[in-house]
Amino acid sequence: MNLILILILIVVALIGLRIALHRNRILGLLTFGISFLGIYLVIFPEYSTRIANALGVGRGADLLLYFLFVISILGLFFVYIRIDQNNQLITKLARSIALLSASKKDKN
Amino acid sequence: MKCAKMHGDGKHMNLNSQNSLPLHLKNNNDIFFIVPAFNEASTIENVVRSIVEHGFTPVVIDDCSSDQTADIAYSCGAVVIRHPINLGQGAALQTGIEYCLTKNFRVLVTFDSDGQHQIKDAICLINSILNDEADIVCGSRFLGTNAIGIPPVRSLFLQIAALYTRLSTGLPATDAHNGLRALSKKAAKTIRITHNRMAHASELMTQVKNLRFKELPVEILYTQHSLAKGQKLTNSINILIELFIGKFTK
Does pLDDT of A95 surpass 70?
yes
Nearest CB among A80, A91, A99 relative to B196 is that of A91
Q: Which residue has the higher pLDDT, B200 or B230?
A: B200
For A91, the closest of B80, B87, B249 (CB atoms) is: B87
State ipTM. Answer: 0.74
Is B57 touching A (CB cutoff 8 A)? no
Domains of chain B: 26-249 (3.90.550.10)
Confidence of residue A51 (pLDDT cuts 50, 70, 90): confident
**pLDDT at residue B145 tops 90:** no
Between B46 and B239, residue with greater pLDDT: B46
Cβ contact B81–A97 (<8 Å): no
Task: Give start and end residues of each alpha helix (H) in B61-139.
Answer: 69-75, 89-101, 119-130
What Cα–Cα distance (Å) separates residue B177 from each residue in B39, B151, B158? 20, 15, 7
B194 — contact with chain A (CB < 8 Å)? yes
d(CA B11, CA B6) in angstroms, rounded, equals: 10
Q: What percent of chain A has pLDDT over 70?
A: 87
Asked if B91 and A105 come within 8 Å (Cβ–Cβ), the reply is no
Average confidence (pLDDT) over B207-223: 84
Indicate whether B24 pLDDT > 70.
no
- B67-124 pLDDT, tens per residue? 999 999 999 989 999 999 999 999 999 999 999 999 989 999 999 998 888 898 999 9
Residues belonging to chain A with any Cβ–Cβ distance to chain B shorter than 8 Å: 80-81, 84-85, 87-88, 90-91, 94-95, 97-99, 101-103, 105-106
pLDDT in tens, B86-101: 999 999 999 999 999 9
Residues A95, B194: C-beta atoms closer than 8 Å? no
Distance between CA B246 and CA B202 in Å, rounded? 12
What does the domain layout of chain A look like in residue ranges?
1-43, 62-108
B64 or B177, which is more confident? Answer: B64
**pLDDT exceeds 60 at position B151:** yes
**Minimal C-alpha gap between A77 and chain B (Å):** 9
Q: Please tell me the predicted confidence (pLDDT) of residue B149.
A: 67
β-strand pairing of B181-183 with B136-140? antiparallel
